[in-house]
């Protein structure tokens, strides 16, 4: 194989011996050499990744959702598109060799998340739906939910209550649930912020307590037991199952699905977890045994208290969101109902809802942390401070915060085909899209006013990581766009800000906060 001088790769993840070998063999293939043929180059697959971080620390961040494969792909695509835009404008970064490296790395699977790919999928899916006519979504006969912690009950119990379907909750008799069993309660009641959700729920602690008819209308059971035989009876009877278990999800769920089943007989497992990668891995492990679907969940739930037979969960006033990410056609959906439960029609819409949350909610959380540090620290050490929010900030800082929120809205518009956004919300005009996005930004900022947090907690996943992936990316995007497009200009006008002010606020914070990069936040107790 001839030696070819290669430009430095665009992504750090591509700077590896195996990838360099792949790039060279691909060049040979393009030059007509016998080695580096199509079959050989396809044997090597590259997946983008973020810098290594402590995942236990990532779990601590209130608004953070661990990345699944789709999020990683979108991060890579956004980086590629920004660099390509800069390359077309003549910047030295994003040179031809770097762009070439990324185009070799990208596959058709990645391309479908580009705006043009999202639009094509929407057109095709809509046409197929029209041709097929109305598809009836089966109603779940029995829904089982594993994990009655703060998130499970604070976000999901209201949705289950509104559905009116037969429901079985499962959790172990640990912590404050131990008293429920020891005190011999027959029923329990669930509350969120003082409002009842699931009430008169029958407490089950043994197989003898289990009713014969698990499909009876209005059935509400709470199996507070780790007995595998008891749990298995409920699992075998259900057609939909949700989890809110965190790191123990695989350990709890997998033993109940140990037999291969035909597609029509498989249970649909909906993973309502922050770690989407963990849910995707479960789907791989249970292939042929169950169908696993990822859900995006978003609500801050701060506490759980058991008093007598009342289980009271504290949560932020915001109702949160549950987005069921592309369940199979005609699959029974979980026993969820409510305006905050969404089932996107296409992967473009599903991806939009996820990216909107990560870009705005997680991104602004990080922005507030760096604004706080820049105000509180004169040096370069990121101390631990109470997070500054809009309600406590002076007017000039409030203006800067809003500029940052608008910058993130512009990024959301740029990442997604506008027709995807319209279709996702059932809108018809550009003004409606802008109004919807602006309202989402304002509601996101109000959420931060309701929960106290600290910079150390927000940046626990790594100051440099957060600065690069959530702060600097916004400036990179703005640098690649010398002027706003028509839709972006409309959003700016409706937001009441000037593009130059948005760019100035973003650039100022990125440059001022760069002094903290490469240092660690104060450790959390």
| Residue 45: inside a domain | no
Are both 88 and 160 inside the same structural domain? Answer: no
DSSP conformation class of 338 = S
Residue 287 or 31, more confident: 287
Between the CA of residue 112 and those of 44, 70, 109, 117, 168, what are the distances in Å?
20, 11, 6, 4, 38
The Cα 424–Cα 406 span in angstroms is 20
Residue 19 or 270, more confident: 270
Q: How would you label 83-100 residue by residue, b for 16+ Cβ within 10 Å and e otherwise?
A: bbbbbeeeeeebeeebbb
Between the CA of residue 31 and those of 27, 48, 76, what are the distances in Å?
6, 27, 28
Are both 187 and 212 inside the same structural domain? Answer: yes
* Of the candidates 290, 284, 288, 278, the residue with the CA atom closest to the CA atom of residue 332: 290
| Residue 41: inside a domain | no
Give tens-digit pLDDT for 295-318: 999 998 989 999 999 999 999 999
Judged against a pLDDT cut of 50, whether residue 38 lies above it is answered with: no
Residue 42 or 505, more confident: 505
| Residue 258: inside a domain | yes
Between the CA of residue 339 and those of 101, 135, 286, 432, what are the distances in Å?
44, 21, 31, 18
Q: How would you label 481-515 residue by residue, b for 16+ Cβ within 10 Å and e otherwise?
A: beebeebbebbbeebebebeebbebbeebbeebeb
Are both 213 and 120 inside the same structural domain? Answer: no
The Cα 90–Cα 480 span in angstroms is 11
Judged against a pLDDT cut of 50, whether residue 31 lies above it is answered with: no
Last residue of a domain, one of 343, 358, 375: 343
Domains contained in the chain, number:
2
Judged against a pLDDT cut of 50, whether residue 139 lies above it is answered with: yes
Are both 119 and 219 inside the same structural domain? Answer: no
pLDDT of residue 3: 41
The Cα 466–Cα 61 span in angstroms is 11
Are both 329 and 361 inside the same structural domain? Answer: no
Judged against a pLDDT cut of 80, whether residue 455 lies above it is answered with: yes
| Residue 448: inside a domain | yes
Helix and strand numbers (H, E) in the chain are 23, 13
Q: How would you label 451-462 residue by residue, b for 16+ Cβ within 10 Å and e otherwise?
A: bebbbbbbbbbb
- Residue range 117-140: average pLDDT? 57
The Cα 188–Cα 186 span in angstroms is 7
Are both 89 and 165 inside the same structural domain? Answer: no
Are both 74 and 204 inside the same structural domain? Answer: no
Are both 322 and 390 inside the same structural domain? Answer: no
* Of the candidates 81, 142, 147, 154, the residue with the CA atom closest to the CA atom of residue 114: 81
Are both 157 and 103 inside the same structural domain? Answer: no
Give tens-digit pLDDT for 209-243: 999 999 999 999 999 999 999 999 999 999 999 99
One DSSP character per residue, 106-134 reads --HHHHTTSHHHHHHHHHHHHHHHHHH-P
- Is residue 407 within 8 A of residue 474, CB to CB? The reply is yes
Judged against a pLDDT cut of 90, whether residue 461 lies above it is answered with: no
Are both 248 and 225 inside the same structural domain? Answer: yes
* Of the candidates 25, 22, 19, 17, the residue with the CA atom closest to the CA atom of residue 1: 25
Give 5's pLDDT tier (boundaries 50, 70, 90).
very low
| Residue 231: inside a domain | yes
Last residue of a domain, one of 317, 343, 369: 343
SS3 assignment, position 342: strand
Give tens-digit pLDDT for 249-271: 999 999 999 999 999 999 999 99
Structure token pair of residue 166: 């037969």
Are both 175 and 65 inside the same structural domain? Answer: no
Structure token pair of residue 48: 């983008």
Give 113's pLDDT tier (boundaries 50, 70, 90).
low
SS (H, E, C) 207-225: HHHCCCCCCCCCCEEEEEC
Structure token pair of residue 22: 């792949």
pLDDT of residue 521: 54
pLDDT of residue 233: 98
Structure token pair of residue 287: 């292939």
The Cα 220–Cα 165 span in angstroms is 9
The Cα 299–Cα 317 span in angstroms is 9
Residue 452 is part of which domain span?
55-128+348-516
Structure token pair of residue 457: 């907690």
| Residue 366: inside a domain | yes
Chain mean pLDDT for the chain: 82
DSSP conformation class of 521 = P
Residue 62 or 29, more confident: 29
| Residue 1: inside a domain | no
| Residue 390: inside a domain | yes
Give tens-digit pLDDT for 330-376: 899 999 999 999 998 788 888 899 899 999 999 999 999 999 999 99
Q: List CB contacts of 512: < 8 A, sequence separation 6 or more.
A: 374
Judged against a pLDDT cut of 90, whether residue 435 lies above it is answered with: yes
- Is residue 254 within 8 A of residue 228, CB to CB? The reply is no
Give 178's pLDDT tier (boundaries 50, 70, 90).
very high
The Cα 172–Cα 223 span in angstroms is 8
Return the CATH number at 191.
3.40.50.720
As a whole number of angstroms, the longest Cα–Cα distance in the chain is 78
Residue 89 or 455, more confident: 455
How many Cα atoms occupy the beta-carbon half-sphere of 230 within 13 Å? 21
Give tens-digit pLDDT for 375-398: 999 999 999 999 999 999 999 999
SS3 assignment, position 357: helix
Are both 327 and 380 inside the same structural domain? Answer: no
Burial class (CB in 10 A: 0-12, 13-18, 19+), 108: exposed
The Cα 480–Cα 452 span in angstroms is 35
Give tens-digit pLDDT for 56-110: 333 333 344 445 555 666 666 666 666 656 555 555 555 444 545 555 555 555 5
Last residue of a domain, one of 343, 360, 384: 343
Between the CA of residue 98 and those of 8, 31, 87, 103, 465, what are the distances in Å?
6, 19, 10, 9, 22
The Cα 336–Cα 294 span in angstroms is 15
């Amino acid at each position: 194989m001839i030696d070819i001088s290669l430009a430095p790769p665009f992504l750090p993840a591509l700077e590896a011996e195996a990838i360099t070998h792949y790039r060279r063999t691909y060049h040979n293939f393009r030059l007509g050499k016998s080695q580096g043929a199509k079959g050989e180059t396809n044997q090597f697959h590259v997946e983008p990744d973020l810098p290594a971080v402590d995942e236990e620390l990532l779990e601590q961040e209130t608004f953070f959702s661990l990345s699944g494969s789709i999020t990683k792909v979108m991060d890579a695509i956004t980086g590629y598109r920004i660099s390509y835009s800069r390359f077309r404008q003549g910047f030295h970064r994003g040179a031809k060799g770097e762009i070439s490296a990324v185009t070799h790395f990208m596959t058709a699977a990645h391309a479908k998340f580009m705006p043009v790919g999202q639009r094509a999928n929407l057109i095709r899916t809509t046409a197929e739906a029209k041709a097929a006519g109305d598809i009836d979504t089966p109603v779940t006969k029995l829904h089982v939910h594993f994990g009655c912690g703060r998130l499970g009950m604070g976000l999901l119990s209201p949705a289950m209550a509104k559905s009116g379907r037969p429901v079985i909750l499962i959790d172990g008799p640990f912590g404050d649930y131990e008293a429920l069993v020891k005190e011999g309660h027959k029923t329990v009641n669930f509350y969120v912020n003082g409002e009842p959700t699931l009430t008169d729920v029958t407490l089950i602690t043994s197989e003898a307590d289990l009713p014969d008819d698990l499909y009876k209308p209005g059935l509400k059971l709470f199996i507070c037991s780790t007995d595998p035989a008891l749990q298995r009876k409920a699992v075998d009877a259900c057609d939909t199952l949700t989890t809110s278990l965190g790191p123990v999800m695989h350990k709890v769920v997998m033993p109940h699905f140990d037999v291969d089943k035909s597609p029509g007989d498989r249970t649909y497992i909906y993973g309502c977890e922050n770690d989407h990668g963990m849910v995707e891995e479960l789907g791989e492990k249970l292939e042929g045994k169950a169908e696993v679907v990822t859900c995006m969940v978003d609500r801050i739930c701060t506490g759980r208290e058991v008093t007598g037979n009342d289980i009271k969960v504290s949560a932020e006033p915001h109702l949160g969101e549950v987005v069921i990410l592309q369940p199979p056609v005609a699959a029974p959906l979980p026993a969820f109902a409510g305006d905050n439960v969404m089932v996107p029609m296409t992967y473009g819409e599903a991806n939009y809802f996820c990216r909107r949350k990560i870009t705005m909610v997680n991104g602004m959380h990080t922005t507030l942390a760096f604004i706080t540090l820049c105000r509180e620290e004169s040096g370069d050490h990121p101390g631990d401070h109470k997070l500054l929010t809009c309600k406590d900030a002076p007017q000039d800082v409030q203006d800067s915060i809003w500029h940052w929120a608008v910058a993130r809205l512009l990024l959301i518009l740029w990442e997604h085909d506008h027709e995807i956004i319209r279709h996702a919300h059932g809108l018809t005009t550009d003004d409606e899209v802008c109004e919807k996005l602006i309202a989402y930004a304002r509601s996101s900022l109000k959420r931060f006013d309701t929960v106290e947090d600290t910079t150390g907690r927000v940046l626990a996943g790594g100051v440099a990581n957060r600065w690069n992936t959530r702060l600097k990316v916004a400036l990179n995007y703005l640098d690649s766009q010398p002027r706003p497009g028509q839709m972006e200009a409309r959003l700016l006008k409706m937001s009441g800000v000037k593009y130059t002010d948005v760019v100035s606020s973003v650039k100022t914070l990125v440059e001022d906060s760069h002094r903290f990069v490469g240092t660690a936040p104060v450790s959390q107790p």
